[in-house]
Amino acid sequence: MTKQAFIIGGTGQIGRAIGAKLLNEGWSVTLASRGGRDIPADLVRLGAKTIVLDRGKPGELARSLGSGADAVVDTVAYDQTHADQLLDVEQDVGQFVVISSCSVYRDGFGRTLDEARENGFPELPDGMSETQPTVEPGPQNYSTRKVAFERRLLDHAQRPVAVLRPCAIHGTHSNHPREWWFVKRMLDNRKIIPLCFNGASRFHTTAVANIAEVAAVALNRPQSRILNVADPEAPTVLEIGALIGEAMGWSGELVPLDIGDPRFGSPVGWTPWSVPAPFTVNTDSARQIGYKPATDYAKAVPPLCEWLRGQPREGWRERFPVLAAYTMPLFDYDAEDAFFNA
Ligand SMILES: NC(=O)c1ccc[n+]([C@@H]2O[C@H](COP(=O)([O-])OP(=O)(O)OC[C@H]3O[C@@H](n4cnc5c(N)ncnc54)[C@H](OP(=O)(O)O)[C@@H]3O)[C@@H](O)[C@H]2O)c1
């Protein structure tokens, strides 16, 4: 019998990638969303069904699920209430795959990504495993809420739950494409692009295709587990810029600068991957159950640049609301020009 997958957030960047992977593996796939995004026509052609669901409305998830699914993939779970929603329907579900985040990890002093601006950047092992301690669950911030979600579901579910922890996600159809930081500069014909921390920052990247691979591997070996998901290598910001420049046919210069922590200075050279110490994970646990990366950053970035090139430069804030919400100014060209002129 054909296995049924129900993807909450099915029209987002992760949902599309997982949907495509599962359709190719012979699953029947339902893409659930509030209906605000473009329908993925390529997936519909492959047989995907789309359904309107606002998971925030009580009882709607159960109604949309109908007679149930072999797997529910939840890409947009952010707190304990979302775990409770999944637990409410678990009698009709074979297993769960849910998207958490690598931002849950903390260092020995309790420092985290979320509070790095106030408390200092965490000192974490280069290539953290899933045994790295996490923040405590709670309502305080994104990561404490993600841990509350993870624990609630793992502690109470009677069905297998695979918790995936990706890093800096990249893919088409993103509303948070960090690559826009470079692509927009290149489209705006900036000839010099400054990079703080000498361009040496490494914030591990995760292609949506690699999330889809890990999701598929986990679904084929149902068991409750936590899995980091990341690209095979963690490129430096300088390498990221060079790959994007190549894909964009850009002939300017990337300028690594020996300037650091933007808390104490200007935004010049600060990119969405800029960190004073590595933030990287290992994917040994996923590999042990059969994960083979589908792609790497160098292969994934040209189609992403192509997609970004097709997006309107004006109005990017509405198109990429998560990126637009960054507290650091992303395109302060006046500050960059003043810096170089000085
Ligand atoms: N971006 C990163 O670098 C990063 C890193 C680590 C972890 N993550 C995790 O990645 C996940 C985000 O996935 P994504 O990047 O694929 O997001 P996305 O591209 O923004 O897609 C979100 C999807 O969820 C749907 N959706 C949103 N609210 C909904 C609701 N109330 N009910 C039903 N559907 C809803 C959206 O469609 P509608 O708007 O039409 O409903 C869309 O299909 C989050 O769990 C986040 O914590 C992200």
Residues with Cβ < 8 Å from 236, sequence gap 6 or more? 199, 200, 201, 202
Three-class SS of 112-163: CCCCHHHHCCCCCCCCECCCCCECCCCCCCHHHHHHHHHHHHHHHCCCCEEE
- Tell me which of 75, 153, 170 to substitute to probe ligand 1's pocket, judged by most ligand atoms within 8 Å of the beta carbon: 75
Atom of ligand 1 nearest to the CA of 11: 43
Ligand 1 pocket residue status of 175, Cβ below 6 Å: yes
Cβ(169) to ligand 1 under 6 A?
A: yes
Please name the residues in contact with 184: beta carbons below 8 A apart, sequence gap of 6 or more.
313, 316, 331
207 lines ligand 1 (CB under 6 A): no
Ligand 1 center from residue 99 Cα (angstroms): 9
Res 262: pLDDT? 55
Helix (H) or strand (E) holding 229: strand 225-229
Q: Are 194 and 339 in contact (CB under 8 A)?
A: yes
Q: Round to whole Å and give the CA distance between 191 and 82.
A: 46
Q: According to the model, what pLDDT value does residue 235 have?
A: 98
Dihedral sign from CA coordinates of 242, 244, 247, 248: negative
Q: Please give the model's pTM, rounded to 2 decimal places.
A: 0.97
Which atom of ligand 1 is found nearest the CA of 76?
Answer: 45
User: What's the CA gap between 46 and 22, in Å, rounded?
Assistant: 11
Distance CA 186, CA 184 (A): 5
Closest CA to 95 of 61, 75, 68, 76: 68
Q: What's residue 229's pLDDT? A: 98
DSSP 8-class letter at 199: G
Helix (H) or strand (E) holding 340: helix 333-341
Residue nearest to atom 21 of ligand 1 (CA): 12
Verify whether ligand 1 is closer than 6 Å to residue 37 (CB atom). yes
Contacts of 296 (CB under 8 A, 6+ apart): 207, 231, 232, 233
In this predicted structure, what is the pLDDT of residue 161? 98
Amino acid at 313: R
- Identify the bridge partners of residue 6 per DSSP, sorted by sequence position: 30, 72
Report pLDDT for 119. Answer: 81
Please give the domain boundaries of the chain with CATH numbers for all domains: 77-341 (3.40.50.720)
* The 69-74 sheet, strands edge to edge: 49-52, 28-33, 4-8, 69-74, 93-99, 161-166, 225-229
User: CA 141 to CA 63: how far, in whole Å?
Assistant: 30
Q: What is the pLDDT of residue 260?
A: 75
CA separation for the pair 98, 205 (Å, rounded):
19
Q: In sequence order, what DSSP letters do the residues of 231-278 get, joined into one string?
A: -SS---HHHHHHHHHHHHT---EEEE-S---GGGS--TT--TT--SS-
- Please report, in tens digits, the pLDDT of each residue of the chain (342 residues total): 899 999 999 999 999 999 999 999 999 999 999 999 999 999 999 999 999 999 999 999 999 999 999 999 999 999 999 999 999 999 999 999 999 999 999 999 999 888 887 788 899 999 999 999 999 999 999 999 999 999 999 999 999 999 999 999 999 999 999 999 999 999 999 999 999 999 999 999 999 999 999 999 999 999 999 999 999 999 999 999 999 999 999 999 999 998 876 555 678 999 999 999 999 999 999 999 999 999 999 999 999 999 999 998 889 999 999 999 998 899 999 999 999 998
pLDDT of residue 115: 81
Q: DSSP 3-state assignment of 304? A: helix
For residue 265, how far is its CA from the centre of ligand 1 (angstroms)?
32
